[in-house]
Amino acid sequence: MKRLISTTSALCLLASAAQAEGTLSVYHWFEYIPQELVDKFTAETGIKVTIDTYDSNESMLASLKAGKLGQYDVAVPADFMVEIMAESGMLDTFTAEEMPNLPNIAPQWLDVPFDPGRSSSIPYQWGSTSFAVNRGVYTGDISSLGVIFDPPEELRGKINVLDSQNEVLILGSLYLGIPQCSTDRDQLRALAEMLVAAKQHWASFGSDTAKDVMVSGDAAAGMIYNGFSAKARAEGANVEYSYPTEGHVLWMDNVVLLKDAPNRANAITFMNFLLEPENAAAVTNYAAYTSGVSGVEPFLDEAIRTSPENNPPAGTTPGVFAEVCDEDTQKLYDAIWINLKK
């Protein structure tokens, strides 16, 4: 059931919706918002939406730093990237009065370390990153990240890996049992050597194609977001998503208000719109992840509510969120990634 907002806030929203006009420029992940929801927003507000896409948090950050900050109103970074962007002075803030649907945020996602009290961001979707396997190709055990980093013969040369530095290095660290943001040179050397050795068994790097290559059969296994795995199954791929014994990556994607947004008022209207439970559920039904908004359950499709990707089995090793390394340590991880991508 939708949360109620005050009469005054409701009247303000109606007034702003009636008066809203112009455009909104969104910087977003590939295949991550239903066009029907964008059309609904435009129909309700008169605001025309333009969406450009990116395939990793790192590429989004690089683009904004290279001159696109000031061209977009909102972006959709992961939890750790919100913190990095805030520290870099790339985010604007809003007040609770400007965002009357703020109380709709689920309690666990309201006061978060990367944006305490939510003054620059709202939750979008959250999920996990692990790997999936085509069960028509490989029927063996998939309980370990070794399927990706030391693959069985049946999968060698048939693996897609996300083109995402953060997630690849975290999963590799989990596989080796070493901490994130390690400064131990032996641990970092072991991570670099393991990844280079594993690369010979990989067919491709691709994030926005991670689902498509599983559906087409171009990959028989691959790192993948849990929602992409669910969508691959829905499109007929015989895939199974793994929650490995070593652990997996957890993330929360967030809509952030960018500094120097050319359409700030429209951006806030859009963010507030996404906090309506019915609208948040529309994103979940499309993207197959999990909403950070309370009250979405009555609007969720049964297939999404019960998907194995969104319901880890009992005893699953907990996932981990990305940590933000200090600048010197991050340079070491950047070097590992650059060497891997040669």
**Of the candidates 51, 65, 55, 5, the residue with the CA atom closest to the CA atom of residue 29:** 55
Neighbour tally for 271: CB within 10 Å:
23
Give the pLDDT of residue 1. Answer: 29
- The residue-averaged pLDDT of 88-95 equals 98
Write the CA distances from 77 to 7, 58, 64, 174, 175, integer angstroms.
33, 9, 12, 23, 25
DSSP string, 252-310: EEEEEEBTT-TTHHHHHHHHHHHTSHHHHHHHHHHH-SEESBTT-GGGS-HHHHT-GGG
Q: Are 254 and 124 in contact (CB under 8 A)?
A: yes
| Residue 21 pLDDT grade (very low, low, confident, very high; cuts 50, 70, 90) | confident
Cβ count near 96 (within 10 Å):
11
Write out the H or E segment, with its range, that includes residue 329: helix 327-340
pTM of the model: 0.90
Strand-pairing partners, residue 223, are 131
Q: Are 50 and 28 in contact (CB under 8 A)?
A: no
Please say whether the beta carbons of 292 and 123 come within 8 A: yes
Q: How far apart are CA 158 and CA 221, in angstroms?
A: 7
Which amino acid belongs to residue 16? S
Question: Residue range 251-276: average pLDDT?
Answer: 98
| Contact between residue 109 and residue 272 where contact means Cβ atoms under 8 Å apart | no
pLDDT, tens digit (0-9, with 9 covering 90-100), for 204-237: 999 999 999 999 999 999 999 999 999 999 999 9
Reported in sequence order, the residue ranges of the chain that DSSP labels E, i.e. its strands, are 23-29, 48-54, 74-75, 121-134, 159-161, 202-205, 221-225, 239-242, 249-257, 290-291, 320-321
Task: Return the pLDDT at 14.
Answer: 43
For residue range 48-68, what is the model confidence (pLDDT) as tens digits?
999 999 999 999 999 999 999
Answer whether 125's CB lies under 8 Å from 289's CB: yes
